[in-house]
Amino acid sequence: MPDNGGDICLVLHGLEGSMASHYSGPLLMAATRANMQGVFMHFRGCSGEHNRLPRRYHSGDTSDLICVLDTIKQRYPDRDIHAIGVSLGGNILLKYLGEHSSNPALQSAAAISVPYDLANGARTLRHGAAKIYQRHLLNSLRSSFYQKTRMMKMPIPIPDKDEIDTIYDFDNLVTAPLHGFRDADDYYEKSSCRQFIPSVRTPTLLLHAIDDPFMTPEAIPEKKELPHCVRLELSKHGGHVGFIEGNLPLKAGYWMDRRIESWLKGY
């Protein structure tokens, strides 16, 4: 985005997302309308180019976010930094804020359609209409992984394609061993952001829909878990990063963008 000299707003995408994801452009434009400088962070392997190490990215990996925040601060030491995390990016963002509550690099944050409990999400994606989303994500994950196995030697056993039929299978056979976790359950337990939210001390907006097909309502944090600086806004409808308004398909809009713009303008 063109540099307008304002505060920095960093956008973190979801699982297998990119700058091309339907929410990316509108969120960057919301930052621009809030007089902020939009910056987009691609996780490893999501920009259309594989990274040069066997490891990729995962829901609990805050190290790359820290590196990006440090780089922004070095280049723009006089500007405040804000962040918007979507789905997996929101999980990483909230985990970071909880881990670094005493000295966060961020002035404010917003997290959209976050899978607060990763195990809950993995179970939910196995059933009903959610299986459609799982198949789409799984095809992308498997394609990217097997492409990479042809480019470099992997430090883990390469599973057969027919062994990976669910997101849980992929996390159990690829994500977990590739990134130092015992198995998928260990990965979910240590990486789910819900346990880190009580430690957050940065003003943060949580935007979520009760009908999100990626998880059940039980995954959503309860009011007693939220510190005073964290505001949870629940809508009955909105799906996963949907939040569409309007009855005519060609004139439908995303009220999520306006809410994020309003939140950012408060800073």
Enumerate the active-site residues. Answer: 87, 212, 240
Q: DSSP 3-state helix, strand, coil percentages of the chain (rounded to 5)?
A: 40, 15, 45
DSSP string, 101-152: TTS-S-SEEEEES--SSHHHHHHHTTSTTHHHHHHHHHHHHHHHHHHHHTTS
Identity of the amino acid at 241: V
Q: How far is the C-alpha of 53 from the C-alpha of 167, rounded, in Å?
A: 22
Encode 219-240: b = buried (16+ Cβ within 10 Å), e = exposed. Answer: bbbeeeebeeebebeebeebeb
The tally of CA atoms less than 13 A away on the side-chain side of residue 120 is 17
Q: How far is the C-alpha of 265 from the C-alpha of 267, rounded, in Å?
A: 5
Q: How far is CA 247 from the centre of its chain?
A: 28
Which two three-digit tokens encode residue 81? 């930094």
24, 57 Cβ separation under 8 angstroms: no
Kindly list the distances between the CA atom of residue 130 and the CA atoms of 32, 165, 235, in Å, as whole numbers in the listed order. 34, 14, 19
**Strand, helix or coil for residue 216:** coil
- R_g (Cα) of the chain, nearest Å: 18
